[in-house]
Structure 1
């Protein structure tokens, strides 16, 4: 099984919101971009919420996230995984990102949104017990992955509107 590594965070020191995935899929790793799979609805949702549409250049979408106080990262720094599916992650190989350092240098973050159940599970299992106590709100959102076909796009979008409610 290939050992994969996460990307550095997309962040700004003034970010108030952190959106966490589990770890990038194969297409994202090949492109060097978060949520690069053409059927992943993350950028379409960000387009509907904050105008970071998938048709914009990646650098422009990242800038829009930052200007809206949104940081983007993954729960895992590295793991072994055969495919792009979260269910294929070898749990014994999973290493978390350094959230203690990240949150200490991003003191304005008040909310962490998990892009799906695996991001939430990895965070709670591998990270939360190591963090300094801090008042943060945690919200699991439906995964934007094309593997999450049980919800329609509009159902996902409706749940993801919680992100812009924090921005208001």
Structure 2
């Protein structure tokens, strides 16, 4: 049994021992554009890449730094290599958090955020939570928090073709990584 996955770019990627040079933005964009949020329980397909794009655009609308915008775009990038688990399951699998955290740190390092600060991570998390609220409000008619978070713009939660989302993710990466 192999200890690697074969990525979209045909890279042998070892998720438990990630190598920074093996992380490719094309693999991340492709995989996340094909992965659904909410474990597939929204009323239509809405991808992790769409969520990440919205997070990046929200960070821009809030006037956050290029680094925070890039962090928002990449905050779920580890899922492109190890998938995701629902929160109740993840909470009961502490080893998953260790694997996810290690991989996410390598991804951030690969794209110039190896020194991401606690304040930057707090801003990224706040944007992520805001989008989570509006995704569930729009796509399930459920309000996850008592207080409606503020957002800087209206976001598009429509069903989109994965290829257009993948291309937008790559284009946005080019804008914020420069």
Give the TM-score category using the shorter length: 0.3 to 0.5
TM-score using structure 2 length? 0.32
Q: Which has the higher strand share?
A: 1
Rg larger in structure: 2
- Taking structure 1 as the reference length, what is the TM-score of the superposition? 0.33
